[in-house]
């Protein structure tokens, strides 16, 4: 059992090494996916086994189930990397698309400051920092999804600001503007003890610095930075009960405590879905993903019962889009004998298998091809392509650790304004 996990970790390491030797680009999609897969499908199970191997086996059914799951993980990963390999063989071409740097700087600043302004407006509307973050896992919850996501327009602004300053460089005023734009996400990451915003900010900054400004950093420094940010993210999650304004509690939990919860583990949850599918459960063949995206893009004020009606119309048995992104946890629980935590995510492999069944390797290949094509386009120096690939690379954490819907929805939500702004300043 452990041998299969370690072997997959070795595959991820070799894949990332070859990708870097081929491209000398730390943002190569194979490197990004190797790191994310290593966290979910190598580090998580090894920590869980070290903590309590008997309980780990109990939740996964048997050691054979773990070995089978690792084989499926390897199959999906190889399909994904094969798509990246085929997509990255496309010939690089120069792009003649120019842009007005001054106009782009102004627009990026306006978009970013609008997002930051909305964040702070709602923060102080709910009582300010001491009120919102005066309790563990604090946050401002807004019912309207579009207003809630509009606060995150810094995700659009950061790549565009880096692109605007690519030729003349970033001066202190631009770094100061960047700091203001990302400050709400950093606040949410640190005081709200959330790993997602922290990793997202890191990816945007390192991606903009290396991928857009084309600054060279040693691969060892890049690897250490990734490990350090990952450790801090896990430490925040492990100690989130003690992190709030005015807290006097001690940070007594180690970073790896965050991934010792079997009920919330992406690895164990993902394996439970695979056991459900291998035990006769039916995949959705794209219907759940389509239904969730369709319902989510329509404002609730226009269609209050959209999630229930879409699930009924598409005959999505056992699906409740309000719980765990529509994963039929009731059906899965009856098969495995336990229920995952509310809000838990099964990870990329289980998601694509639940959604597409035997066609999952083909879908994984297409995802890899899509990422590689965007990476190649970004190397052409096209403004829009640079911004889109940085968005995709930053959002890849949602793709591997959360759900297909979380990634797809955010790419649509933030990709459209990026395209519009790019066209506005193109010359």
pLDDT digits (tens, 9 = 90+) for 334-386: 888 888 887 788 899 999 999 999 999 999 999 999 999 999 988 776 677 88
pLDDT at 34: 95
pLDDT tens digit string along 253-312? 888 888 888 888 899 999 999 999 998 888 989 899 999 898 888 887 788 888 888 888
Tokens representing residue 191 in the block? 């005081």
Q: How many CB atoms lie within 10 A of CB 299?
A: 13
pLDDT band at 414 (very low <50, low <70, confident <90, very high): confident
Helix axes 360-378, 348-356, angle to 10 degrees: 120
Would you place residue 96 in the very low, low, confident or very high pLDDT band (cuts 50, 70, 90)? very low
Through-space distance between the first and last CA atoms of the chain, rounded to whole angstroms = 58
Note the pLDDT tens digit of each residue in 392-406.
998 899 899 888 888
pTM of the model: 0.88
pLDDT value, residue 166: 82
What local confidence, expressed as pLDDT, does residue 197 receive?
Answer: 87
Residue 92's pLDDT band, with cuts at 50, 70 and 90, is low
Residue 253 phi, psi (nearest 5): -95, 135
CB atoms within 10 A of CB 303: 12
- The token pair that represents 188 in the structure block: 């949410």
Q: Which two tokens stand for residue 377?
A: 């386009």
Average pLDDT, the chain: 86
Return the closest-CA partner of residue 336 out of 58, 26, 9, 5.
58
Helix (H, G, I), strand (E, B) or coil at 139: coil
Report whether pLDDT(74) > 50: yes
Q: For position 14, what pLDDT does the model report?
A: 95
Between CA 255 and CA 192 the distance in angstroms is: 16
| Non-local CB neighbours of 337 within 8 Å, separated by 6+ positions | none
Q: Which residue from 407, 402, 400, 404 is spatially nearest to 41, judged by alpha carbons?
A: 400
77 and 29 Cβ atoms separated by less than 8 Å: no
pLDDT tens-digit series, residues 215-259: 777 778 878 888 898 888 889 888 888 888 888 777 878 888 888
Answer yes or no: is pLDDT of 140 > 60.
yes
């Amino acid at each position: 059992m452990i041998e299969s996990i370690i072997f997959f970790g070795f595959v991820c390491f070799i894949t990332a090494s070859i990708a870097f030797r081929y491209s000398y680009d730390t943002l190569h999609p194979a490197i990004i996916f190797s790191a994310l897969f290593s966290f979910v499908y190598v580090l998580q199970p090894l920590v869980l086994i070290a903590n309590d191997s008997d309980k780990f086996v109990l939740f996964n059914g048997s050691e054979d189930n773990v070995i089978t799951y690792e084989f499926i993980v390897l199959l999906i990963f190889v399909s994904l990397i094969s798509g990246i390999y085929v997509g990255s063989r496309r010939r690089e071409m120069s792009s003649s698309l120019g842009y007005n740097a001054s106009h782009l700087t102004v627009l990026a600043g306006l978009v970013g400051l609008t997002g930051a302004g909305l964040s702070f407006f709602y923060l102080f509307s709910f009582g300010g920092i001491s009120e919102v973050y005066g309790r563990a896992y604090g946050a401002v919850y807004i019912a309207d999804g579009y207003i809630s996501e509009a606060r995150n327009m810094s995700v659009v602004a950061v790549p565009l600001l880096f692109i605007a300053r690519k030729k003349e460089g970033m001066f202190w005023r631009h770094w100061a503007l960047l700091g203001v734009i990302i400050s709400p996400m950093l606040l949410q990451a640190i005081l709200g003890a959330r790993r997602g915003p922290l990793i997202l900010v890191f990816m945007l900054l390192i991606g903009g610095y290396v991928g857009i400004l084309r600054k060279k950093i040693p691969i060892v420094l890049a690897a250490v930075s990734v490990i350090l940010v990952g450790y801090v993210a896990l430490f925040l999650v492990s100690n989130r009960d003690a992190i709030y304004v005015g807290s006097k509690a001690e940070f007594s939990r180690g970073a790896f405590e965050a991934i010792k919860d079997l009920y919330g583990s992406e690895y164990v949850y993902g394996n439970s879905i695979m056991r459900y599918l291998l035990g006769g459960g039916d995949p959705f063949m794209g219907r759940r993903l389509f239904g969730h995206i369709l319902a989510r893009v329509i404002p609730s004020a226009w269609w209050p019962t959209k999630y229930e009606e879409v699930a009924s119309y598409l005959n999505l048995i056992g699906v409740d889009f309000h719980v765990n992104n529509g994963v039929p946890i009731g059906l899965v629980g009856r098969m495995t004998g336990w229920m995952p935590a509310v809000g838990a995510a099964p990870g990329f492999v289980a998601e694509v298998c639940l959604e597409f069944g035997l066609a999952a390797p083909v879908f994984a290949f297409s995802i890899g091809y899509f990422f590689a094509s965007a990476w190649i386009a970004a190397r052409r120096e096209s403004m829009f392509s640079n911004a889109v690939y940085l968005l995709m690379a930053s959002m890849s954490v949602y793709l591997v650790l959360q759900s297909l819907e979380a990634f797809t929805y955010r790419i649509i939500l933030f990709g459209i304004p990026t395209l519009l702004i790019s066209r506005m300043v193109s010359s």
